[in-house]
Amino acid sequence: MKNILVNIMSILMIGISFGTYSGAISATVAAPKVVVKANGTCGSSNGASLTSKPSANLCAVGAASTVAGSNPWTWSCISTNGGTSASCATVKPVNGACGSNNGIILAAKPSTSLCTAGNPSTVAGTNPWTWSCVSTNGGASASCATAKPITSTVLLTKTGQIVSSFGNVNSIYDNAAIDFSATYVNTCTNLIKSYYKINRSITVSNLYACGSPVAQAVDPKTDKSRYDFVTTTSPSVGDIACWTAPYGHWAIVKSTSPTIYFEQNFKYQDSGKYYAVVDRTDSYKNWGIPTYYKLRKN
């Protein structure tokens, strides 16, 4: 560049003369071209929750590649001047999904296991309780609820009335006050004996004041195994439950989560009429957790 300027100045100072013409010469020199690199930059479709393949707002800087994938979709923003490319993608909408407490009977307001996807809303209502699982990525929300307690009552209108059935055994009530006598047929203890005789071929005795029941095979000649009952804190269907208050009462565990009982001689009187309680849960009458007994084969 310096040599060029020197040569031009020399020409201007000397001048050029051809024949009778004499004058000065001027020259214009172009500045060198500077190339600026611009990195690719994603457009507003990047990180957005979309329901269809994007075709606009792909890149703020750079040329968009082909959009690939299937929700989420991906593409690149490629620089045309040798800069770095940017990787871009949409966010897949995730629908809210109810947790394991949805659709089951609970004795208390749930605070856990509300949602498997999405954020849980405030739990509302009073048994049954309701809540929503709200997606954070623009998906659909899920409506969730516990099941309504199924404890119900049945008006007793006659003696020997069948109120419910479980395990090929009928729960039979009389239209009368609760009877505690050992000779009374439709007592809570007789239901336990019938259930185990029919379903387990076991004779159960010592059902008194929540003492440990005694078990033996109905036919010791063909079944020489030894049986007994052991206490457990994790009852299974068919186990025995016993409450000491307000009086001794026995029942069969009909289901778990929550625990529901199959029983006999559990009733109350209202306005001169007697009612049987069916499918009772632990929350009914707030008797507390009973002692559970599980049959064991030795």
pLDDT of residue 262: 94
Q: Are 78 and 84 in contact (CB under 8 A)?
A: no
pLDDT tens for the chain, 298 residues: list them. 444 444 444 444 444 444 444 555 555 666 666 667 889 999 999 999 888 999 999 999 999 999 999 989 999 999 978 889 999 999 988 899 999 999 877 767 899 999 999 999 999 998 789 999 998 887 899 999 987 777 788 999 998 999 999 999 999 998 887 665 555 678 899 999 999 999 999 999 999 888 899 999 999 888 889 999 999 999 999 999 999 866 789 999 998 877 889 999 888 888 889 999 899 887 676 677 899 999 999 8
Residue 263 CA: distances (Å) to CA of 27, 149, 163, 217, 250: 113, 17, 10, 23, 7
pLDDT of residue 2: 45
Torsion of CA 217, 218, 223, 228, to 10 degrees: 0
- Cα–Cα dist 182/175, whole Å: 18
pLDDT of residue 130: 96
Residue 59 Cα to chain centre, angstroms: 38
pLDDT of residue 27: 55
Q: Identify the CA nearest to 24 among candidates 32, 33, 15.
A: 15
SS3 6: helix
- Cα–Cα dist 66/48, whole Å: 18
- Cα–Cα dist 65/183, whole Å: 88
- Cα–Cα dist 215/195, whole Å: 13
- Cα–Cα dist 71/52, whole Å: 8
- Cα–Cα dist 33/272, whole Å: 106
Long-range pairs for 103-108: beta carbons < 8 A, 24 or more residues apart: 103/145, 103/146, 103/147, 104/146, 104/147, 104/257, 104/258, 105/146, 105/147, 105/148, 105/149, 105/150, 105/258, 105/260, 105/281, 106/146, 106/258, 107/258, 107/281, 107/282, 107/283, 108/283
**Burial (Cβ within 10 Å: 0-12, 13-18, ≥19) of residue 148:** exposed
Residues 6+ apart with CB under 8 A from 163: 154, 156, 171, 172, 173, 276, 278
Q: What is the pTM of this model?
A: 0.53
Domains within the chain, CATH numbers bracketed: 41-89 (no CATH), 97-145 (no CATH), 152-297 (3.90.1720.10)
pLDDT of residue 34: 63
H or E element: which one contains 191? helix 188-199
